[in-house]
């Protein structure tokens, strides 16, 4: 007994053409922006956590070197960083709230620097004020929804440096220009400015990929339509044309007319023309029984037959056409008067097995131009995400096992 198994089928597109989706440009821009905001906000929170840890360590190991409440002054900056990260969109009052939180934090940190010997000697360029100014740059870039972070980075530095300078003049802390935050602000602004340029360059490349993808889908769609046309043609005319092609030219003999009439009687075409099949509205099971009866075959139904009526298209239409061809094949080739159709359901998958105890055949010896199983059955089912397996051997009958997903 030989076995023919279907090849692996790739999940199709929504349009049935198969392949991989290309990431849309709009989604790419939104994702890039979200990644930049998340990265800037996460780095801000990490820096603030490091500064808070340093403050606690200095307070415990070197009492008097730093005011113990300095870590508390970092909380407004942390809240502003989280708001810039999670607030989407940021309302106008939200920007004022973030700015006020930053101003309050820098006023408190400047006062803490005056009262902390470990920081006062460096003036406004001390480690804590320098690092928190960097946090303000990152927070401004993350909260900027108009220029992509450029104005936000520069604005964050101006806000922090201005607040520190004004507060320092009141509390007597020496002002010293801190160069690293300036460099970081310019670097962040430049980095955000490069993103639109890189996106513009990528856009042309993505457009080319999308065009190639559309061409590939179009070719695939034409191929699918061609295969379906072949299957439909086989279901209707090719069997009759093949019978005429194998004979010598000349008038049909009575025996040839009889064989051709018998072939037409066992196909799905003549019962349709004579309106001998009952409509699908009566149920797929009863419809298959009527097709078998028109071809002289008694079809016995077993299992969860009613489930055949619930398979959604396109899987439902493909399954019905494949089962119709299986019944027609039994009538044409098996040499028996009855066949079985067994239906089962498991794990969101429906399986149908068509069994006859007829003459059978060797699946490996079927010519490639014989389309009954390859296109009318196997091709149709595989194009909707299903699978077909055939068991047959000469003298041992034939079993065709079809599975289709119920969710397609």
Domain parsing of the chain, residue ranges: 25-205, 247-405
pLDDT digits (tens, 9 = 90+) for 9-28: 334 443 444 444 444 555 55
Whether residue 189 has pLDDT greater than 50: yes
Q: Which helix (H) or strand (E) holds 303?
A: strand 298-303
Beta strand 298-303 pairing with 387-392: unpaired
pLDDT at residue 57 tops 80: yes
Q: Which residue has the higher pLDDT, 320 or 72?
A: 72
Of residues 69 and 148, which shows the higher confidence score? 69
Closest CA to 115 of 66, 174, 163: 66
Q: Which of 5, 364, 400, 21 is nearest to 209 (CA)?
A: 21
If pLDDT is split at 50, 70 and 90, which confidence band does 32 have?
A: low
| CA-wise closest residue to 280 among 297, 268, 265, 270 | 268
Q: How far is 372 from 361, CA to CA, in rounded Å? A: 13
Percent of the chain predicted with pLDDT > 90: 12
State residue 77's pLDDT score. 92
Which position has the higher pLDDT, 219 or 277?
Answer: 219
Give me the long-range contacts of 166-169 (CB less than 8 A, separation at least 24): 167/106, 167/107, 167/110, 167/111, 168/110, 168/123, 168/124
Quote the CA–CA distance of 372 and 331 in Å, as a whole number.
Answer: 13
Q: What is the C-alpha to C-alpha distance for residues 154 and 142, in angstroms, rounded to an integer?
A: 12
Asked whether residue 299 carries a pLDDT value surpassing 50, the answer given is yes
Mean pLDDT of 196-213: 62
pLDDT higher than threshold 70 for residue 289: yes
Phi and psi at residue 4, to the nearest 5°: -120, 120
> Is residue 265's pLDDT more than 70?
no
348-401 confidence digits (pLDDT tens): 788 899 998 888 888 776 655 454 566 668 877 888 888 888 888 888 888 889
Of residues 200 and 113, the one with the higher pLDDT is 113
**What are the pLDDT digits (tens) for 93-108?**
988 999 999 999 999 9
Q: For 239-272, b where at least 16 C-beta lie within 10 A, e where not — what string?
A: beeeeeeeeeeeeeeeeeeeebeebbbbbbbbbe
pLDDT tens for residues 229-262?
455 444 444 554 554 565 567 776 676 565 555 5
Instruction: Give mean pLDDT, residues 168-192.
Output: 85
pLDDT of residue 293 exceeding 60, the answer is yes
In this prediction, residue 27 carries a pLDDT of 58
Q: Is 358 exposed, middle or buried (0-12, 13-18, 19+ CB in 10 A)?
A: buried
d(C-alpha 137, C-alpha 407), whole Å? 51
Per-residue confidence (pLDDT) for residue 19, from 0 to 100 = 42
- Burial annotation 18-55 (CB, 10 A radius, 16+ → b, else e): beeeeeeeeeebeebbeebbeebbebbbebbeebbebb
DSSP 112-123: HHHT-HHHHTTG
pLDDT band at 65 (very low <50, low <70, confident <90, very high): confident
List CB contacts of 255: < 8 A, sequence separation 6 or more.
Answer: none
Q: H-helix or E-strand containing 60?
A: helix 25-61
Check: CATH 3.30.450.20 for 247-405? no
- Show contacts of 311-314: CB within 8 Å, 24+ apart: 311/350, 311/404, 311/406, 312/406, 312/407, 312/408, 314/16, 314/384, 314/408
SS3 state at 99: helix
Position 87 scores a pLDDT of 86
- Top pLDDT among 212 and 293 is at 293
Q: What is the pLDDT of residue 63?
A: 86
Q: Distance (Å, rounded) from C-alpha 152 to C-alpha 158?
A: 10
pLDDT at site 273: 38
Query: In a 10 Å sphere around its CB, with 0-12 CB exposed, 13-18 middle and 19+ buried, how is residue 408 labelled?
Result: middle
The percent helix, strand, coil of the chain (3-state, each to 5) is 65, 10, 25
For the ranges 114-118, 151-155, 156-160, 225-229, the maximum mean pLDDT occurs at 156-160
121 CB neighbour count, 10 Å cutoff:
10
pLDDT at 133 over 80: yes
Distance of alpha carbon 284 from its chain centroid, rounded?
A: 33
Work out the pLDDT band at 178, boundaries 50, 70, 90.
confident
CA distances to 182, 204, 240, 255, 358 from 259, in Å: 94, 63, 10, 6, 19
Q: Out of 91-100, 141-150, 204-213, pick the least confident.
A: 204-213
**Per-chain mean pLDDT for the chain:** 76
For residues 121 and 371, the model is more confident at 121
């Amino acid at each position: 007994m030989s076995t023919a198994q279907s090849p692996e089928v790739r999940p199709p597109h929504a349009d049935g053409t198969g392949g991989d989706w290309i990431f849309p440009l709009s989604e790419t821009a939104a994702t890039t922006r979200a990644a930049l905001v998340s990265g800037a906000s996460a780095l801000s929170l990490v820096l603030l956590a490091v500064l808070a840890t340093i403050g606690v360590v200095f307070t415990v190991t070197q009492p008097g070197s730093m005011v113990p409440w300095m870590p508390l002054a970092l909380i407004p900056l942390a809240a502003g960083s989280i708001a810039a990260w999670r607030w989407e969109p940021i309302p106008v009052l939200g920007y004022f709230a973030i700015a006020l939180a930053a101003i309050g934090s820098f006023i408190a940190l400047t006062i803490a620097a005056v009262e902390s010997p470990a920081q006062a000697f460096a003036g406004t360029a001390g480690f804590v004020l320098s690092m928190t100014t960097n946090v303000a740059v990152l927070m401004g870039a993350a909260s900027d929804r108009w220029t992509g972070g450029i104005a936000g980075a520069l604005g964050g530095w101006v806000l922090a440096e201005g607040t520190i300078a004004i507060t320092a003049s009141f509390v007597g802390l020496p002002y010293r220009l801190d160069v690293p935050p300036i460099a970081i602000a310019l670097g962040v602004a430049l980095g955000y400015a490069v993103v639109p340029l890189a996106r513009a360059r990528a856009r042309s490349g993505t457009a080319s990929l999308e065009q190639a993808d559309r061409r590939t889908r179009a070719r695939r769609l034409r191929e699918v339509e061609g295969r379906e046309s072949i299957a439909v043609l086989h279901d209707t005319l090719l069997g009759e044309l093949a019978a005429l092609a194998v004979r010598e030219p000349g008038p049909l003999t009575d025996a040839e007319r009889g064989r051709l009439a018998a072939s037409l009687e066992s196909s799905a075409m003549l019962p349709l023309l004579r309106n001998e099949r009952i409509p699908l509205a009566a149920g797929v099971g009863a419809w298959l029984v009527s097709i078998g009866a028109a071809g002289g075959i008694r079809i016995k139904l077993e299992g969860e037959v009613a489930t055949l009526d619930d398979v959604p298209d396109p899987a439902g239409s493909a399954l019905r056409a494949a089962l119709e061809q299986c019944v027609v094949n039994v009538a044409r080739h098996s040499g028996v008067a009855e066949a079985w159709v067994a239906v089962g359901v498991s794990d969101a998958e429906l399986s149908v097995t068509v069994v006859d105890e007829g003459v059978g055949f060797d699946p490996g010896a079927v010519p490639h131009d014989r389309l009954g199983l390859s296109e009318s059955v196997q091709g149709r089912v595989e194009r909707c995400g299903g699978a077909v397996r055939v068991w047959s051997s000469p003298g041992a009958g034939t079993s065709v096992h079809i599975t289709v997903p119920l969710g397609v």
